[in-house]
Amino acid sequence: MNEPSSVPEQVDAVVVGAGFSGLYMLYRLRQLGMSVKVFDSAGDVGGTWYWNRYPGARCDVPTTDYAYSFDPELEKAWTWSEKYATQPEILDYLRFVADRYGLRSDIEFSATVTSARWDEQEKRWRITIGCGTEMRCRYYVMATGCLSLPKSPDIEGADRFAGQVYFTSRWPHEGADLTGQRVAVIGTGSSGIQSIPLIARQASQLTVFQRTANFSIPAHNGPASADRLKQLGGDRDGYRHAARWSRGGIPMEPTDVLGVTAGEAVRRERFEAAWELGELFGILNVFADQAVDPASNDIVAEMIREKIRSIVKDPETAEMLSPKGHYFGTKRPCLDTGYFETYNLPHVRLVDLRKQPIVSITEDGIETADESFGFDAIVYATGFDAMTGPLVAADVAGRDGLSLKEKWAAGPSTYLGLMTAGYPNFFMLTGPGSPSVLSNMTVSIEQHVDWVAGCLKDMREEGFETIEPTTLAESGWNQHVQDCAAITLLPTANSWYMGANVPGKPRVFMPYIGGVNAYRQACDDIVGQGYLGFRMTGPGGDRCRDGVIRRMQPDVAMVLEFLAAMGLPPMETLPPADARALMAATAATRPPGPKVGEVTDGAIPGPSGDLPYRLYRPAGPPEGLRPLVVYFHGGGWVLGNLDSDDPLCRDLCERSGAVVVSVNYRHAPEARFPAAALDAFAAVQWADANALELGGIPGQLAVAGWSAGANIATVACQLARGAGGPHISGQVLICPVVDSDMTRLSYEENGDGYILTTALMRWFWDHYADPADRSEPRAAPLRGDLHGLPPTCIVAADFDPLRDEGVAYARALEAAGVPVRLTRARGHTHTSVTMVGTVISGAPVRAEIAEALKNFFPSAEPLEHARQRR
């Protein structure tokens, strides 16, 4: 592997980029004894800090944390002067690092890599630099950064302007003297917000063209935080370790205070503390639910708007500067120094492009729909083609000649943001699908570089020459990245995270939002499992450990972790009364579920005494008749009651628009098989007979249930079919128990660790039915005659021991001619789909259930019509 570096056209590794990531990659590859060549189109090291020299450019992560941590001696040798260092100081730091480790000798500056092609014969990359110099390498690393390709100014007439034109991302090295000039700034992202106060100091007139008002908080710059310095000084290793295993790459305890339930005083106190602290991760951590719950998010957003109104004197300007239309944190918030105050200066004006869009840039200024402006200089602070831009721009072609641009035409596809299938030995540092821009970049960079270096070392030791992810592993990771984003509000914004700032770019959430800690764990787990999801080849043979590293929905995994940490006793070790009490205690702490029009309790005459029921009527005119759904709660025939499934019933009612009647039935072991099933049938008969009184449309009756409740729901359908009525329009069976056979594969795969366990299921059966009765169709409806049953919606969850019997029931019903909709609750457990308000990823499944319910019924009949039919 270690070929002599005197052969210039062939090295072990080529790295593109000499910023934070490229420099450290070079350092680590050299440690492995590899020959390396780094190319950068810039004239010096620095990456983003080489180019972004606009006035006011600073980091937005405290510099104590925004630095390398790989060498304690380096940390001792460098002292930052401010809490947020300026661009010149950060650039000095990177120069200092390059010199300290003698890195420059392997870096070629002002050299742009124009193409990279994988040569399958040679198992090497052919790299073209500039106009034609060629180079070969075994490993090709793009350390090109996430925000390095400026977005072209997509504004009509941009090339016509005769005055000075500046881009914040390509600011002249000699600086720009704007003294006494009439200046326009277009764009109010971080670059605009940092530069506007300083440009205002020079310009005679400054006009800011704002398309989207942005959230910004004061940086309160000054000396580095004494508290942080003390922590670092006291226990550097502990501090850096905590950063590596934190959510964002900075040691910080995530709050568990919920915005929606906190009192006004707590809300205010937490917000003011974050405002005073002046750190992005602080303001993003005011409430635990602000990134997922619109109501909580709005509390923070409104408090920021209040601050803006208190700073900006002109109410109209203050209103224009107050962000609306996107949730706080869904576009990257900014840290500023006197940004909003700048608009109090008499020579500064804000133009709202939502009200008067730019029509064209002209020779001497800017024309909007309402006005013509004359300028001496225009500053574009219009952002970047983020994350994918620099990667696809580099003309990378993989094994089959397919360019990365073509492969990613519908959005980036990576394994861990590190590699992509079809491109062997091609590594991206902080690529799409990794925490990157959502984290402290330096921590994420070090983790990526260390992972790549570790991987190359392992390959060498095991005799492999190439590595590449499998398509299965890659699509699994892409799915996980999207699942993590989908439970947050972030995909709702037109942000550069979504590619929404570049016209025509696919709308895909690109960074990994699951956290630096979760991501690091996934990377470590992959290595621990023999490079799961990677194919390695070499002279000694091939090795492929195919698979998906994270299949569970992220919020489901969090709930499981939370429950495991509580250390509750397994239900099956308790007497039923204690198990019921435990279930009631945990249910008391969960969110209540959505509001519905009306909730009333009543009693049904059952076969041996009254059965309590709770009726949920959707919002709307009280006299309107609705389809009726009789619902049975879960709990293994032993546990549960009207309260246990209350949030789920509210959710079903609200989503489907049906009247839901939740019926409590007799429980085992006090009332064993077939008591629960007979109660269910009696309840359905009663509901049918009393439909009008319940607000239901006669003849439009469905049943639904979860787990054992789904068992008795479908048994009731079988009994109704056998008895010739009542007519049931459809059945919804959520993770149903339909068989007593516990040998299916899903029991083997999911029988332990996902709340409903094999042991618990056995406990349920033992309480409910004698072994001799368990194959009876009223206990195991899969074994019954399924002909003539109503249209069915079955939910089968991936991590449920009952998954396969649910699927088997769906297949058997289909074979019997019953229309079936099988909904796979991907990444869910037996219980998680029902956790309304806690497990956000369950919402799309419940939406599907509601859709199925609606489809069971013909469109609602007018009231009079229904009454006549009765």
How many Cα atoms sit within 13 Å of 685 on the Cβ side?
17
In whole angstroms, the minimum distance from the beta carbon of 155 to ligand N01 comes to 5
Report the interface residues with ligand N01, using CB under 6 A: 58-60, 147, 154-155, 186-192, 194, 211-212, 332, 353, 381-384, 437, 496, 501
Element (DSSP H or E) covering residue 226 = helix 226-234
CB of 143 to ligand N01, least distance (A): 17
Residue with Cβ nearer ligand N01 (211 or 580): 211
Shortest approach of ligand N01 to residue 211 CB, angstroms? 3
Residue 20 CA to residue 95 CA, distance in Å, equals: 10
Can you say how many angstroms the Cα of residue 159 is from the centroid of all Cα atoms in its chain? 39
State which residue, 439 or 823, has the beta carbon closest to ligand N01.
439
Sign of CA dihedral 222, 223, 226, 228: positive
> Among residues 57 and 630, whose Cβ is nearest to ligand N01?
57
Can you read off the two tokens belonging to residue 10? 């062939």
**CB contact at 8 A, 192 and 208:** yes
**Shortest Å, Cβ 414 to ligand N01:** 20
Residue 23 to residue 2: CA distance in whole angstroms: 20
Helix crossing, 471-486 with 554-566: angle to 10°?
A: 70
CB 638 within 8 A of CB 608: no
Between 152 and 310, name the residue whose CB sits nearer to ligand N01.
152
CB closer to ligand N01 out of 133 and 221: 221
Residue 416 or 493 having the CB closest to ligand N01 = 493
* CA 592/CA 184 separation, integer angstroms: 51
| Residue closer to ligand N01, measured from CB, 41 or 501 | 501
CB atoms within 10 A of CB 131: 7
Residues facing residue 390 across a β-bridge: none
Closest to ligand N01 by CB, 153 or 251: 153
The residue among 152 and 600 lying less far from ligand N01, judged by its C-beta, is 152
- What is the smallest separation between the CB atom of 152 and ligand N01, expressed in angstroms? 9
Q: Is 688 left (phi over 0), alpha (psi -120 to 50) or beta?
A: alpha
Beta strand 358-361 with 348-352 is unpaired
Beta carbon nearer to ligand N01, 215 or 534: 215
Beta bridge partners, 428, equal: 142
Residue 454: partners with Cβ closer than 8 Å, 6 or more residues away? 527
CB of 42 to ligand N01, least distance (A): 17
**Least gap, CB of 59 to ligand N01 (angstroms):** 5
> Per DSSP, what are the bridge partners of residue 336?
218
Quick one: three-class SS letters along 745-765? HHHHHHCCCCCCCHHHHHHHH
Per-residue burial over 223-247, b if 16 or more Cβ lie within 10 Å, else e, is ebbeebeebbeeeeeebbebbbbbb
Question: Contact at 8 Å (CB) between 657 and 650?
Answer: no
- Rounded least distance, CB 752 to ligand N01, Å: 43
Closest residue to ligand N01 using C-beta atoms: 189
Residue 187 Rama label (left phi>0; alpha psi -120 to 50; beta): left
Query: What is the rounded CA–CA span in Å between residue 168 and residue 148?
Result: 12
Q: Specify the residue, 301 or 738, whose C-beta has the smaller distance to ligand N01.
A: 301
- CB of 350 closer than 8 Å to CB of 139: no
Whose Cβ is closer to ligand N01: residue 147's or residue 761's? Answer: 147
